[in-house]
Amino acid sequence: MKSRRPKSDDQVHEFEKRDLGRDIERSRSAAVIRPKKRSLPTSILLDASLIGKLKEKAGDRGIGYQTMLKIILHEHVDDY
């Protein structure tokens, strides 16, 4: 019996064989996701209601609550 190979999708084949590095570089659409600076772990005790609010706000943005907390700290640390 002959084994059936899935039919190859030409677009997928072209995409997989191409190095997109130069295209992304030229388009200037690439963004740094993580800075090269070393992050240090920290520990903080937060009230359960505050974590609940963070989770709610983060959920609206489709991110985790710890990421939401980092965004808030980053945006407002200079206010103090």
Domain ranges of the chain: 10-33+41-79
Interatomic CA distance for residues 54 and 7, integer angstroms: 47
Tens-place pLDDT, residues 24-63: 667 766 665 666 777 788 999 999 999 999 999 999 999 9
- Global pTM? 0.51
Confidence band, pLDDT 50/70/90 cuts, at residue 78? very high
For the segment 44-53, what is each residue's pLDDT rounded down to a tens digit? 999 999 999 9
